Amino acid sequence: MKHLSEDAAIERIEAPERVVLPLSQHIGGPAKAVVKPGDYVLKGQVVAEATGYVSVPIHASVSGTVKEIFMRATPLGRQCEHLVIDNDGKDAGVVTLGRDRDWQGMKRDELANLIQEGGLVGMGGAAFPTHVKLTPPPEAHIDTLIMNGVECEPFLTIDGRMMLEYPKEITEGIRILKRALGVQRVIVGIEANKKQAFAAMRAAARQDSDISVEMLEVKYPQGAEKQLIDALIKRKVPSGKLPLDVGVVVQNVTTAYMTYQAVAKSTPLIERPLTVTGDGIERPTNMIVPIGISIGEVIVRQGLKEETRKIIMGGPMMGVAVFDPELPVVKGTSGLLALIEGVETMSHPCIRCGRCIEVCPLAEHAVSIVAAVKEGRVEDYDKLHVMDCVECGSCAFQCPARRPLIHYTKLAKAELAAWRAKHRK
């Protein structure tokens, strides 16, 4: 699937006439608007500030006038404020935008602060604020930083292209992350289907004795944190624990590029590299787009075929289907897919083949989770490790009866959260 766009060089797209910036683009507290309709903003200016530790600010991706602020649901169903900026076409940036900054002598917390101020979140798709991962609690003994260049989702090629085209910047970003985290060892994991990117990264990190670039087997979900840690350094993250409990922090390679931009180039996260692909797209490609551009605009630019049946934000396995072309590209949008084929949805009864259990990277029993959900046995969800599921989609993909297994798991998670909240009080 990657062949569609893996050879397409990263393009830049002209800034749109209008950008829409949801104030909740990351996991954690939504940002709070600090501008009001009618205000003039410069490119790179903070338009919404972080509302706590697990939160990041949001910056204007174009210069222009704030038109309005309105409430709408994000593709994940969360209601939040959206800020609309009309582009004046002047591309006027804040004074510091793009200015070189010497970070070598900076302390750890200074770097973490710069990274938070830059609005950085994980670029792999989950959009977890980067600085939070860089400031682990003191009792955690972090010794390894793992850079995730796996990009195991089918179709997506942007991380691979970024490593191929910007290996120096990414490596510099890795050095910054390494310093901010205060570790001695960095391992970059890249899947074997990206040989050129692997070679480029190896070459760029040649002088750094403490950065090793490793090649990994191609398999899904190799890029899931826990699987990646196991594959690279043979440590197993226990159920309910985080990578930092085994002394590891995982960051995406494109996040390293953005870290370089935010710290060394004083450019906050206002652009997003992504892959536009799928059999419904005339010219599949990789591009860097301003955050807040509508997905319709991006897709139409690359040619949308009429037969397209589904548009997905993110990868085909874990992405979210979207129905509204007006929705903006956000910090977590790693790809836009238009699909014609393979959209089979008719669901049949379980045939008890057990493939969902076989393919699960955590050996979870999806079939038992579905049974528990259907019978409303909320108290059993914990035993079935519902909360450990990363929703990689392998089970649903394999299911010959095409049952919506991930949907059931998501439902179980929601029910369990509600049940816990009810029983705590």
Partner 1 sequence: MLEPLIILGALGLLFGIGLFIASRVFFVKIDGRVEMIEKVLPGTNCGACGFAGCTGLAKAIVHGQADVMGCVAGGENVADQVAEVMGVKAGAVEKKVAVLRCQGRNVKDRFIYEGIRTCEAAILVQGGPKECSYGCIRFGDCVAACLFDALHMVDGFPQVDEAKCVSCGKCVEACPKHLFELLPLGKTVHVQCQSHAMAKDTRKACDVGCIGCKKCEKICPFDAIHVENNLAVIDFEKCTSCGKCVDECPMNTIGQFRMKRKELGLWPVKKKQPSAVSDQPSA
| Footprint on this chain of partner 1 (rule: CB under 8 A) | 73, 75-77, 320-321, 323-324, 345, 404, 407-408, 410-411, 414-415
Give the nearer residue to partner 1 in terms of CB position, either 300 or 417. Answer: 417
In the bound complex, what is the minimum distance in angstroms from residue 312's beta carbon to partner 1? 12
In the bound complex, what is the minimum distance in angstroms from residue 409's beta carbon to partner 1? 10
Which residues, including other chains, have CB under 8 Å from residue 187's CB and lie 6 or more apart?
144, 145, 146, 147, 211, 212, 213, 214, 232, 233
Give the nearer residue to partner 1 in terms of CB position, either 168 or 410. Answer: 410
Give the nearer residue to partner 1 in terms of CB position, either 27 or 97. Answer: 27
Give the nearer residue to partner 1 in terms of CB position, either 20 or 253. Answer: 20
Contact 201, 163 (CB under 8 A): yes
CA 305 – CA 339 distance, rounded (Å):
9
Six-digit token string for 101? 């900054």
At residue 291, the 3 state secondary structure works out as coil
Give the nearer residue to partner 1 in terms of CB position, either 10 or 399. Answer: 399
In the bound complex, what is the minimum distance in angstroms from residue 413's beta carbon to partner 1? 9
In the bound complex, what is the minimum distance in angstroms from residue 77's beta carbon to partner 1? 4
Give exposure, 164-183, as e/b (b: 16+ Cβ within 10 Å). Answer: bbbbebbbbbbbbbbbbbeb
Give the nearer residue to partner 1 in terms of CB position, either 93 or 319. Answer: 319
CA 169 – CA 255 distance, rounded (Å):
11
Are β-strands 211-216 and 185-191 bridged in parallel, bridged antiparallel, or unpaired?
parallel
Contact 72, 2 (CB under 8 A): no
In the bound complex, what is the minimum distance in angstroms from residue 425's beta carbon to partner 1? 14
Which residues, including other chains, have CB under 8 Å from residue 227's CB and lie 6 or more apart?
221, 361
In the bound complex, what is the minimum distance in angstroms from residue 232's beta carbon to partner 1? 33
